[in-house]
Amino acid sequence: MEGFEQALAACLPVLERFVKFKISDRLDAEDLFQDCCVTAVQKRESLRDLSSLKPWLLRIAQNKCTDYYRAKAKQLELPIEELSESVASVGLYGRTVDTAVGETLDKLGDREKQILYLYYFKDLPQDQIAARLHLPLGTVKSRLHYAKKKFKESYLYTEHGKGGIMMKKLPTFLPEYTITATNKEPFPVRWEEIMGWFIVPRLGEKLSWAMYDWPERKRTELCELEVIGRAEVHGIEGVEIRSIETDPMDCNSAGGQQRVERRLIAQLTDTHCRLLAHSVTEDGIRRYSTFLDGDSFLNNWGFGENNCGNEVDLRPKGDIIRRGSEVTTANKQFLLDVVGRCTVTINGKSWDTVCVMDCNTYNNGVVSEQYLDKNGRTVLWRRFNCNDWQLETYGKPWTELLPDNERISVNGVTCVHWYDCITDYIL
């Protein structure tokens, strides 16, 4: 069919997004996406009208996703007629309770899966399970007790609020990690997250992230975010995000509160991502700030000239150059640049990433490293303070406050590693 290849190329981003929405495992999603492309080329003669290419491709993808979950169901020994798609898939509006159960079961051994399935899914009493498995009743009881315990330990989600938001649990202590620089050229990446908040401002998005102080590596702040609807600020349309922060830093505590609920209005365009407004309740008063409030907003929530936001299509610009622990920057505002390519390994799991550095953007004397994978999602974020940052507040230079923490030099100024952030994306 004439024009098929060109039309297919134009539809590939939509097809890829669809598959990645449906398949939670990234490697499986990549394989299935490639399989969809091959099938589309092989079966293109069955497409009668090129204008119907997009729905035709999505039907191919839907069928392959169904086959994928059928195979998963067989591994779990679940009858396919009893397995709804929501049990084992990720929908546009996030993970369901059934999805969380399916993912947790997938982490257990076959014996635990089997006995939990018979007891909970088939609703069989323990004596019938014993007869079916040809085991003594006492053995069934002990296996069931152990399987329940393992399920509880492996369950990755917590539930909050009336809407039943499901969030993966972030660990109390930061897992061990390594960062290994590679000689490969940094890959271009589309980064649609809100700078500093890690969530993509798109309907249906949910995310939790946590902060970990060094050298203790203990979690100090937990933040759970959800995009809850469309919003408009001064005639500019975006989305509203609810953020619930537990044990926030003093500067984020809104009058010393240990649990802060704030709202953010954000906008994602083809070229930029930016915050439009912020609100938080303090002393019983809901306080609002928007992009029209000048420096009072920009210094805390904005980015870029006239709050244009951060660019979403990232590639090295040469504004920041890094060689090992030595960093040099251009003499300009809003320094954000790709400085290298690294393999980040956390808890034995590795990601191919680009390192994005931010120097003195929000606060003079603050530097960050952000490691983004090819999906444009944050794998690891690290904060450094210049040695004299807020010296009057903390009383000592950071080389004395945190003498054993890593150091880098930015334009000849020593900066000390303070804390890290990870999100439930990497779990």
Separation of CA 385 from chain center: 25
| Confidence band for 206, pLDDT divided at 50, 70 and 90 | very high
- What is the C-alpha to C-alpha distance for residues 34 and 67, in angstroms, rounded to an integer? 15
Q: How do the domains of the chain map onto residue ranges? A: 4-76, 85-165, 177-426
**Which DSSP symbol is given to 80?**
G
- What is the C-alpha to C-alpha distance for residues 365 and 378, in angstroms, rounded to an integer? 23
Q: What angle do CA 189, 180, 32 make, to 5 degrees?
A: 45
- Among the CATH numbers 1.10.10.10, 3.40.50.300, 2.60.40.1930, 3.40.50.620, which is that of 85-165? 1.10.10.10
Average pLDDT over residues 265-284: 90
What local confidence, expressed as pLDDT, does residue 81 receive?
Answer: 39
CB contact at 8 A, 248 and 260: yes
Q: Is the pLDDT of residue 340 over 90?
A: yes
Question: What is the crossing angle of helices 53-75 and 26-42, to 10°?
Answer: 130
What local confidence, expressed as pLDDT, does residue 16 receive?
Answer: 87
Single out the residue of 122, 87, 92, 123 nearest to residue 105, CA to CA: 87
What phi, psi does 397 have (nearest 5°)?
Answer: -65, 155
- What is the C-alpha to C-alpha distance for residues 427 and 422, in angstroms, rounded to an integer? 9
Alpha helices in 254-397 (DSSP H): 295-301, 391-394
In DSSP terms, which residues pair with 232 in a beta bridge?
237
| Confidence band for 273, pLDDT divided at 50, 70 and 90 | very high
**pLDDT tens string 224-252:** 999 999 998 887 889 999 999 887 665 55
What local confidence, expressed as pLDDT, does residue 360 receive?
Answer: 81
What local confidence, expressed as pLDDT, does residue 116 receive?
Answer: 83
More confident residue, 145 or 26: 145
**pLDDT tens string 190-204:** 999 999 999 999 998
CB contact at 8 A, 319 and 337: yes
What local confidence, expressed as pLDDT, does residue 149 receive?
Answer: 83
More confident residue, 212 or 151: 212
Q: What spatial distance separates the first Cα and last Cα of the chain, rounded to whole Å?
A: 44
What local confidence, expressed as pLDDT, does residue 307 receive?
Answer: 79
What local confidence, expressed as pLDDT, does residue 137 receive?
Answer: 92
Average pLDDT over residues 55-82: 71
- What is the C-alpha to C-alpha distance for residues 423 and 208, in angstroms, rounded to an integer? 6
CB contact at 8 A, 154 and 107: yes
**pLDDT tens string 369-403:** 999 999 999 999 999 999 999 999 899 999 999 99
Tell me which of 170-174, 178-182, 233-237, 305-309 is least confident: 305-309
The answer as to CATH 1.10.287 being correct for domain 4-76 is no
More confident residue, 18 or 352: 352
CB contact at 8 A, 12 and 30: no
Q: How many helices (H) and strands (E) does the chain have?
A: 10, 20
Neighbours of 139 (CB within 10 A): 11
Q: Is the pLDDT of residue 109 over 80?
A: no
Does residue 340 sit in helix, strand or coil? strand
Tell me which of 68-72, 91-95, 160-164, 400-404 is least confident: 91-95
